[in-house]
Amino acid sequence: MARLLQQVIERPRACSYLPSTLASLENRLMVDVEGDELEALFERGWRRFGPVYFRPACAPCGECVSLRLPVAAWAPTRSQRRAARKCATLRCEVGPVRVDDERLALYARWHADRELMRRWEPSPLDRENYAASFAFPHPCARELAYYDDGRLVALGLCDETPRAWSAAYFFYDPAYADRSPGTYHLVNLVSIAARDGKAHVYLGYRINDCPSMRYKASFLPHELLSGRPQPDEAPQWERRDGES
């Protein structure tokens, strides 16, 4: 059973996605969170990063909207099928999150490319920091490791609950950018969810005014969460069959 160690609502700060607005997160530090408890959090708009569970607490904004895919109804678009074909030669291994030199090197290549192309701030990770950021022990934590001819070229960090998958983080070798590996990863994750009888795949927050987060709305149909329901409130998800 989950144990809450700390709960904090941040002071407003400049938003990472919409710089002209202020943002604030509600953070909960929790341990012993079981799969059904994590799923209930996802259903109410929470996300997990290590032992920290968070969701927006920005009073005037409301741009961050939780989005999930209904697995049984979802179908890829032409461009998403094309990405899947381009990546068809990749081999996917699903397993526990690992920390090794190959993963550190892949992350470093990917982040260096982001620093050059998108002017991201440097974010070097050693084994200890990678483990703390990406490999915190959790019963639901999974990685989808993609290999090309035996070489690790992309990695998706996810959570698997009894009825859902949640995509948390993804990075890849920049040399494979023209294959759209991020799109393929999500298509593949829905396929895995369908194979295993899961109901939903959670993609985090859709932010229409942020290009790097808007793409999630192109996965159709999808469902959007209304508001920020409390633990004793039933979450209301609205289906969308077209982008909005």
49-81: pLDDT as tens digits: 999 999 999 877 788 999 999 999 999 999 999
Give CA–CA dist 30/133, Å, rounded: 15
Give CA–CA dist 214/65, Å, rounded: 11
Least confident stretch, 10-14, 101-105, 159-163, 184-188: 10-14
Which pTM was predicted? 0.95
CB 56 within 8 A of CB 39: no
Q: 3-state class of 214 per DSSP? A: helix
- Joined together, the tokens standing for residue 146 give 């993609």
Give CA–CA dist 92/96, Å, rounded: 13
CB 124 within 8 A of CB 185: no
Amino acid at site 78: R
Q: Is the peptide bond before 221 cis (omega within 30 degrees of 0)?
A: yes
